[in-house]
Amino acid sequence: MTEVDRKVEPHEGPLVRRHLLIRGRVQGVGFRIFLADQAIKVGVTGYVRNLEDGRVEAALEGPRDAVDRVAAWCREGPDMAHVSSLEVTDDDPTGDREFAILD
């Protein structure tokens, strides 16, 4: 179920997609909401969600520089977060048109 879906303006040019697994104190600190705001500001689509094991998972799709900027933000996160590790892998773009915060 989707809590928040936010439309993102269509991209032009080549897209990349990255899958992120973020570990540390990343749940209960607004990480998903702040990440969604960062992504939407720079035109990145995809999703973010909490995992049962305490990690946050995200998929970021958009222009390479925008995706890299959001992924770099994830190394720090919001003020109350403490990121102990960030795992990033490349995926094939899927054509997402919005950014979703998932349950």
DSSP string of 38-98?
Answer: HHHHTT-EEEEEE-TTS-EEEEEEE-HHHHHHHHHHHTT-STT-EEEEEEEEEE------E
pLDDT at 1: 38
Q: Are 32 and 48 in contact (CB under 8 A)?
A: yes
Mapping DSSP to helix (H, G, I), strand (E, B) and coil, where does residue 35 land?
helix
Q: What is the mean pLDDT of residues 9-28?
A: 88
Between 9 and 21, the higher pLDDT residue: 21
Number of folded domains that form the chain: 1
Task: Work out the mean pLDDT of the chain and round it to a whole number.
Answer: 92
Q: Which two tokens stand for residue 26?
A: 């990343």
Q: What is the domain range of residue 17?
A: 2-102
Is the pLDDT score of 3 beyond 80?
no
Q: What is the pLDDT of residues 29-79, one digit of tens each?
A: 999 999 999 999 999 999 999 999 999 999 999 999 999 999 999 999 999
Count the neighbouring beta carbons within 10 Å of the beta carbon of residue 8: 19
Distances (CA, A) of 94 to 3, 8, 14, 86: 21, 14, 12, 22
Between 4 and 37, the higher pLDDT residue: 37
- Give the domain CATH number at 23: 3.30.70.100
**Residues forming the active site:** 32, 50
pLDDT at 2: 46
